[in-house]
Amino acid sequence: MTQYILEIAYLIASITFIIGLKMMSNPKKARQGNLIAAAGMTIAIIGTIFLYSKEGLTSRDNIKMILIFGGIAAGTIIGWLTAKKVQMTKMPELVSMFNGMGGACAALIGLMEFHHSVGQTSTMITVLAGMIIGSVSFSGSIIAYLKLNGAMAKPIRLPKYNIINTIVMFALFAFAAYVVVSGTDSSTMLYLLFAAALFYGILFVIPIGGADMPVVISLLNSFTGLAAAFGGFLYDNKVMLTGGILVGSAGTLLTIVMCKAMNRSLFSVIFGSFGGTTAAADGAEVAGSIKDISTTDVAVLMNYSKRVVIVPGYGLAVAQAQHIIHELELLLEERGVEVKYAIHPVAGRMPGHMNVLLAESNVDYGKMVEMDEINSEFEQTDVVLVVGANDVVNPAAKTDPSSPIYGMPILDVEKAKHIIVNKRSMSAGYAGIENLLFYDPKTSMFFGDAKKALTALVAELKTM
Amino acid sequence: MEQILSFISTHREMIYFIILAVFVGVEVIGHVPSVLHTPLMSGANAIHGVVVVGAIIVMLDTDASNYISLTLGTVAVILGTLNVVGGFVVTDRMLDMFKKK
């Protein structure tokens, strides 16, 4: 009886996941969708705690129940507080971190189920697959977290790293195959395999830098989904299967969409990184010189423009300048200047990163224009203000075949009448590439921290 | 060969299920506007936290005197719950901002 009720609970939960994800395609219903999925998740968890049973194995001793509820309470409190307190700009790091936790959970399940599965080939494959994928996702997410956090800003590349990575990957497969085929029940072997998977996760993410970070997080997200799905397969548990596979396939699709936006294949993101071509890029000569512009000049220029397009990038997030930029927008609108935001699909460190950030400061939805749409409007634009973006406005993507970002669709800001670039310094973007836009005669550099520079600009505009 | 065929045969329902779920996943996500990609990723991230169900199952099926399993299981439950709760709460926070429009 209880078994049937649990099956129904899982069915309900699975449906809420699908409906929840579906509703997220509509900005108005998205929040409700998220809550529906959360409700389904609660049903699945509570149902499992009280109704799950496997003959001869399941028991609900006090100690176990205390540990389970204690674990859930601890996870809820920490998760809740972290999620509530984190600044909006730290969102990508946090998603990466939570993703790593899920991966670790899957890996631990694999570690515990190993000894129960010795001798059963298909079960063992499932257990090890979940364990390995979960471990790779965990260590990879932690590296991604550290990179986004700035603790590990530069990609670290061993010489011939992609050959090493490929060898390690195959060695990992071979090792896992050996464990399955030999039918060993040695814990040493298991922990060696676990360590090898963690190590591969580190190797996998560590050389990846530049604009590829969002792709990696999305990919690791689908990895964890896959690990959860293997868990579902192991326990013949439908809710884990649905949840895991939905995220696995959705995450993969999202990853591909992002790759397309950068005009790169997933293969080149994983194996090529930007490393293979940087040597050529370093050789590109930069002609011309840069000129900088004062706050007053920027204010005058903008005040007497008809159309202004703002191009936000990661620098905006770092400087927490989303509120002041909205203030600038309102001020300009008051004076009859038309203001729009040009959103590159991979601006920031996650897809939609800029939208979330601008939404936080109440920027109108309709003002955030996607790349394909805004690109035709740059010719009629008087001033483009680039705030903390770099690679997504680098014309080298169109003109320089030796550039590592060659072929990536970019915002055609160089077509505008004036381009003002706000940057902290002349250092290269995240991809580590020189930006020819800065040397364009129409470009003026407006140096300074985005928040301070824009605050000064707003103050200056108010005096006009 | 026979092993593979018998594996497919015994798990055929599961295999149907998986294939259909893959299509549902692609279909459901296919129409999400790029502005919602971050909350979507975050929401999907919360959903794969369903792996915590597996952690609970391991705990329930383990011997109460096996302290290593109990410890690992508890850690797994904590991490899985972190993934679920953190994921949903952070997604809710993001989507809350969109709702104001």
Range name among A41-50, A132-141, A202-211, A357-366 with the lowest pLDDT average: A202-211
Our CA-based measurement puts residue A70 at a distance from the nearest CA of chain B, in whole angstroms, of: 8
Mean pLDDT (whole number) for A218-231: 93
Per-residue exposure over A391-409, b if at least 16 CB sit within 10 Å of its own CB, e if not: bbbbbbbbebeebbbbebb
- The count of structural domains within chain B is 2
Mean pLDDT (whole number) for A155-178: 84
Residue A104: inside a domain: yes
- The confidence band for A442, taking pLDDT boundaries of 50, 70 and 90, is confident
Q: Is the pLDDT of residue A244 over 90?
A: yes
Instruction: Mark whether B27 and B61 lie in a shared domain.
Output: no
Mean pLDDT of chain A: 86
- The confidence band for A339, taking pLDDT boundaries of 50, 70 and 90, is very high
- The count of structural domains within chain A is 2
Q: Is the pLDDT of residue A290 over 50?
A: yes
Instruction: Mark whether B2 and B48 lie in a shared domain.
Output: no
Mean pLDDT (whole number) for A290-311: 89
* CATH code: domain of residue A408: 3.40.50.1220
Q: Which residues of chain B are within 8 Å of residue A317 when distances are taken between CB atoms? A: none
- At B34 the pLDDT is 67
Q: Is the pLDDT of residue A154 over 70?
A: no
Q: Which residues contact A248 (CB under 8 A, 6 or more apart)?
A: A222, A223, A225, A226, A229, B22, B25, B48
Mean pLDDT (whole number) for A437-444: 86
Q: Which residues contact A101 (CB under 8 A, 6 or more apart)?
A: A138, B49, B79, B80, B82, B83, B86
> What's the CA angle centered on A54, arms A50 and A55, to 5 degrees?
120
Instruction: Mark whether A310 and A429 lie in a shared domain.
Output: yes
What percentage of chain A exceeds 90 in pLDDT?
A: 42
Our CA-based measurement puts residue B1 at a distance from the nearest CA of chain A, in whole angstroms, of: 14
Instruction: Mark whether A262 and A347 lie in a shared domain.
Output: no
Extract the residue ranges of chain B whose pLDDT is less than 70. Answer: 31, 34-35, 98-101
CA distance A291 to A112: 62
Contact A202/A169 with Cβ under 8 angstroms?
Answer: no
Instruction: Mark whether B44 and B15 lie in a shared domain.
Output: no
Range name among A284-293, A329-338, B24-33 with the lowest pLDDT average: A284-293
- At A275 the pLDDT is 44
CA distance A248 to B16: 16
Per-residue exposure over A350-388, b if at least 16 CB sit within 10 Å of its own CB, e if not: bbbbbbbbbbbbebeeebbebbeebbebbeebbbbbbbb
Mean pLDDT (whole number) for A164-189: 90
Both tokens of A303, joined, read: 């005040």
CB pairs under 8 A between A and B: 373
- The confidence band for A400, taking pLDDT boundaries of 50, 70 and 90, is confident
CA distance A94 to A145: 8
- The confidence band for A121, taking pLDDT boundaries of 50, 70 and 90, is confident
Q: Is the pLDDT of residue A79 over 70?
A: yes
Residue A282: inside a domain: no
Instruction: Mark whether A410 and A362 lie in a shared domain.
Output: yes
Contact A350/A91 with Cβ under 8 angstroms?
Answer: yes
Known catalytic residue at A440:
no
- At A241 the pLDDT is 93
Structural domain including A328 reads: 289-462
- The confidence band for A221, taking pLDDT boundaries of 50, 70 and 90, is very high
DSSP string, A123-147: HHHHHHHHHHHHHHHHHHHHHHHHH
CA distance A270 to A380: 39
Q: Is the pLDDT of residue A432 over 60?
A: yes
Instruction: Mark whether A375 and A229 lie in a shared domain.
Output: no
Our CA-based measurement puts residue A333 at a distance from the nearest CA of chain B, in whole angstroms, of: 18
What is the β-pairing status of strands A418-423 and A443-447?
parallel
Express each pLDDT in A37-57 by its tens digit: 999 999 999 999 999 988 878
Instruction: Mark whether B4 and B26 lie in a shared domain.
Output: yes
A27, A108, A221 ranked by CB distance to B45: nearest: A221
Structural domain including B77 reads: 33-101
Instruction: Mark whether B8 and B50 lie in a shared domain.
Output: no
Instruction: Mark whether B86 and B47 lie in a shared domain.
Output: yes
- At A430 the pLDDT is 58
Would an 8 Å CB–CB cutoff place B31 in contact with chain A? yes
* Residue A258 one-letter amino acid: M
**CB neighbours of residue B2 within 10 Å:** 6
- At A210 the pLDDT is 55
- At A211 the pLDDT is 60
- At B77 the pLDDT is 96
Express each pLDDT in A273-282 by its tens digit: 444 444 334 4
**pTM for the model:** 0.80
**Catalytic entry in A391, A400, A412, A449:** A391
Instruction: Mark whether B6 and B25 lie in a shared domain.
Output: yes
Range name among A122-126, A427-431, B32-36, B47-51 with the lowest pLDDT average: A427-431
Q: Is B76 helix (H, G, I), strand (E, B) or coil?
A: helix
Instruction: Mark whether B5 and B48 lie in a shared domain.
Output: no
Mean pLDDT (whole number) for A232-236: 91
- At A284 the pLDDT is 45
Interface mutation target, options B47, B63, B67, B99, chain A, most CBs of A under 10 Å = B47
Instruction: Mark whether A257 and A375 lie in a shared domain.
Output: no
Contact B49/A44 with Cβ under 8 angstroms?
Answer: no
CA distance A324 to A336: 19
Instruction: Mark whether B22 and B48 lie in a shared domain.
Output: no
Q: Is the pLDDT of residue A207 over 70?
A: yes
